Structure 1
Amino acid sequence: MSTRAARSSIVGRVVRHPLSWAAVCATGAAILAPGLGLDLPVYLLILASGFLCGYWFVGLTLRDARPRRGLLVHVIVAVLLVPLFVLLVEVMPGLLPRGAPRTALAFVSMGVVPAAGWIWLGLISRVTGWVRSRERRVVQATAEWEHEAGVAIVHVGAVRLSMRALALGIAVAIALGGSMAVVVLIAVDDIVTRWFSPQLAVVLFGGAIALPVYGVLAALVRRRTSPCTIAFDRGVLRITVGGERRELAFRDIRLLRWRQTSEYARLEVRVASRSETLLIGMARQAPGVAAALPPLPRRVEAELVRSGLQASRTRRGVDEYRRPSAHGRTGTDADAPEAAERR
Structure 2
Amino acid sequence: MTTPPGDLKSALLLVQMAGIPAVGWMWLGIISRLSSLAGQPSAKAPERVAPVWEEQPTGTLVRFAAIAMAMRTLIVIMVATIAAAGSLTALALIAADYHLGIVSVRFTLIVAGALVALPAYLFIKARLSRRTVPCTAAFTQTQLLVTTGAQQHVFRYGQIEKLLWRCTSDYARIEVHTQDSTLTLITGIAKAPRTVLGQLPALSRRTVRSLNEAGLAKERTKRPGLTEFRRAPSTITGSKDLLRP
TM class, shorter-length: 0.7 to 0.9
C-alpha spacing 1:169/1:314, structure 2 compared with 1 (3 Å): same
Higher RCO, Cα 8 Å, sep 6+ = 2
1:290 and 2:205 correspond: no
CA–CA distance in 2 between the matches of 1:109 and 1:268?
37
The aligned residue for residue 127 of structure 2 is: 220
2:156 to 249, 257, 277: 249
CA–CA distance in 2 between the matches of 1:269 and 1:281?
17
The aligned residue for residue 22 of structure 2 is: 115
The 5-angstrom pairing of residues 1-343 of structure 1 reads 98=5, 101-133=8-40, 135=42, 139-177=47-85, 181=88, 196-197=96-97, 203=109, 210-315=117-222, 316-326=224-234
Long gaps (5+) in structure 1: 1-95, 186-192, 331-343
Q: Which structure has more strand as a fraction of its residues?
A: 2
C-alpha spacing 1:118/1:272, structure 2 compared with 1 (3 Å): closer
1:276 offset after TM fit, Å?
0.5
Match of 2:164, as an amino acid? R
C-alpha spacing 1:121/1:146, structure 2 compared with 1 (3 Å): same
TM-score by length of 2: 0.77
Match of 1:279, as an amino acid? I
- The 3-state SS of whatever aligns with 2:144 is strand
- The 3-state SS of whatever aligns with 1:157 is strand
1:118 offset after TM fit, Å?
4.1
C-alpha spacing 1:163/1:301, structure 2 compared with 1 (3 Å): same
Match of 2:26, as an amino acid? I
CA–CA distance in 2 between the matches of 1:238 and 1:312?
22
CA–CA distance in 1 between the matches of 2:229 and 2:196?
26
Match of 1:222, as an amino acid? S
CA–CA distance in 2 between the matches of 1:258 and 1:111?
35
1:99 offset after TM fit, Å?
6.1
- The 3-state SS of whatever aligns with 2:164 is strand
Paired residues in the alignment total 221
Q: Which structure has more helix as a fraction of its residues?
A: 1
CA–CA distance in 2 between the matches of 1:134 and 1:284?
15
- Listed one character per residue, the Cα deviations across residues 260-288 of structure 1 (whole Å, up to 9, x for unaligned) are 11000000000110101000111111221
- The 3-state SS of whatever aligns with 2:22 is helix
Contact 1:159 1:226 in 2 (8 A): yes
Match of 1:324, as an amino acid? A
TM-score by length of 1: 0.57
Contact 1:117 1:207 in 2 (8 A): no
CA–CA distance in 2 between the matches of 1:125 and 1:318?
16
- The 3-state SS of whatever aligns with 2:30 is helix
Contact 2:28 2:78 in 1 (8 A): no
- The 3-state SS of whatever aligns with 2:233 is coil
In the TM superposition, structure 1's runs of 4+ consecutive aligned residues that sit over 6 Å from their partners are none
